[in-house]
Amino acid sequence: MSETRRVPRGRTAGRGPGVRAVAAGSVGNFVEWYEFAVYGFLATVLAERFFTPAGGGAVEGLVRTYASFALAFFFRPLGAVLFGRLGDRYGRRPVLIGVVALMSGATALIGALPTYGAVGALAPWLLTLLRIVQGLAAGGEFGGAVAVLTEFAPPGRRGLYGAWQSFTVALGLLGGAGVTAVTAAALGTERLSAWGWRLPFLVAVPLGLLALWLRSGLTETPEFLERTNTPEMKLGWGALVLAAARVTGWAAAGYTFLVVLPSYLQTALHTGFAQALLAAAVANAGFAAAILPAGVLSDRVGRRPVLLAGAVLVVATALPVLGLLRDPGTSTLAKALALAGAGAVVGLMAGPGPALLAEMFPSRVRWTGLGLAYALSNAVFSGCAGLIITEAVRRTGNPDVPGYYAAAACAVSAVALLKRAPAEGSWRHRPSEEAAREASWRKRCE
């Protein structure tokens, strides 16, 4: 009689991770991106409440709001290193629990902050401090979530399971847009500006509690447990730079079309608040719809070809999409399709992106490596997107600035994706590590 092997909790023989494992690995991303979406969608209100003293201009306040937004992104690399080192050394589970508690707590506190009218210049500093805390937590969240999802994934399915990280990002963005839109519709502009803006941030309390409950039942990933006694490894800086360049377009195009869009439509095209939120919801719906199919496709044809297709499509379509939005003769349906298409193209990059990053780094430094690469690209090209686009449009008067910004970043990614990392081989080559993963997986499932 063959020996019966114990299958780790949360998994069944011959199958991928259980529903709870996937949910626990990706729920923190939902909380994180829900908050970032709410902050982006309420940027004009926050500018008025925190960054615009009496007599200050609306655009000036918006620029300051986005400056605070960008500052949080520049703390992401620090969070990626801090929490990544802890997660790579002591385990995925305990660090992921701490990260999501930090993120949800800081988000809820934003909803309780006094405004400029109550405490003066202290208000923007308090908001910025909480944004820094969120930046640290977000920097740690991505690497840990992707490590958990891809390390629990069965052989040949990393693209799909890694895509759940991006899919919950889409759900978080949609959730932020939906909660903000419902709050605005229920309260009206005046009450939303006075106190209603707090409610979407306070929703982070129940979301955080749910995330903590899910992660408290998460077990360590098999790959982490199996390499406990392996020697320390150093992070390869060449792989780090290449990885960051590869996801630059994903970062820039994602924030341009999915987060910055509502404020851009209001300030540059003078669209109403409700219409701007609806436009963002349509773009995010297209984004969400494309992510999982893109992850599955990358399992069949490779990560780089799918990401490259997305980057090239952004370069080709960014300016035409903005032209359609500005054209008063364009029908509402055509504008909706253009927005959904723009979101879907970003989803084409976001689907295989997590798995591509995970496969560029060995498990000993995976959380740190992929988290830092992602954080660096987002710090420069996502965190600064709102600030750069708003200021550039204000100075030049050119409404095509967002299109040029997204296209330029995707051109950088396209070049980086054409360059092959040492372990990747040809387009459809499966990394050598995959064979070992498959043997280990089969052994555990016997």
The tens digit of pLDDT for each residue in 36-51 reads: 778 877 877 888 888 7
Asked whether the predicted pLDDT for residue 63 surpasses 90, the reply is no
Percentage of the chain exceeding pLDDT 70:
83
Helix spans in 382-427 (H): 385-396, 401-418
Spatial separation of the C-alpha atoms in residues 5 and 228, rounded to whole Å: 20
Residues 421, 93: Cα–Cα separation, whole Å: 30
Q: Which of 144, 139, 141, 136 is nearest to 100 (CA)?
A: 141
> What is the pLDDT of the chain when averaged over all its residues?
83
| CA–CA dist 418, 317 (Å, integer) | 20
CA angle 440/161/256 to nearest 5° reads 145
How much is the pLDDT for 271? 75
The pLDDT of residue 16 is 45
Q: Does the structure show a pLDDT above 80 at 275?
A: no
Helix (H, G, I), strand (E, B) or coil at 158: helix
User: What are the backbone angles phi and psi of residue 11, rounded to the nearest 5°?
Assistant: -140, 155
Higher pLDDT, 62 or 129: 129
Q: Which fold has domain 19-222+239-445?
A: Growth Hormone; Chain: A; (1.20.1250)
The yes-or-no verdict on residue 292 having pLDDT over 70 is yes
Q: Which residue has the tokens 């500052």?
A: 71
Residues 137-181: pLDDT tens digits? 989 999 999 999 998 888 888 999 999 999 998 888 788 888 988
Q: What percent of the chain has pLDDT over 90?
A: 39
pLDDT of residue 272: 75
- The pLDDT of residue 4 is 33
pLDDT of 360: 92
Q: What is the mean pLDDT of residues 219-230?
A: 75
- This prediction has a pTM of 0.81
Q: What one-letter code names the amino acid at 180?
A: T
Higher pLDDT, 270 or 205: 205
HSE of 90 in the Cβ direction (CA atoms, 13 Å)?
11
- Mean pLDDT over 343-371 rounds to 93
Per-residue HEC secondary structure of 269-319 comes to CCCCHHHHHHHHHHHHHHHHHHHHHHHHHHHHHCHHHHHHHHHHHHHHHHH
pLDDT given at position 279: 81
The segment with the largest mean pLDDT, out of 206-210, 223-227, 435-439, is 206-210
Gap between the Cα atoms of 174 and 197, Å rounded: 17
- Under a CB-based contact definition with an 8 Å cutoff, are residues 140 and 84 in contact? yes
**Cα dihedral: 236, 238, 240, 245 (round 10):** -170
Mean pLDDT of 318-339: 85
Give the Cα-Cα-Cα angle 200, 206, 207 (nearest 5 degrees): 75
CA dihedral sign of residues 428, 416, 353, 243: positive
- Confidence (pLDDT) at 233: 64
Instruction: Count CB neighbours of 372 within 10 A.
Output: 26
Cα(173)–Cα(135) distance, integer angstroms = 17
Question: Could you tell me the pLDDT band of residue 12, with boundaries at 50, 70 and 90?
Answer: very low
Distance CA 303, CA 307 (A): 6
pLDDT at 443 exceeding the cut of 90 = no
Q: What is the CA radius of gyration of the chain?
A: 21
Ordered by start, the domain boundaries in the chain are 19-222+239-445
Report the alpha-carbon distance of residue 249 to residue 346 in Å, rounded. Answer: 9
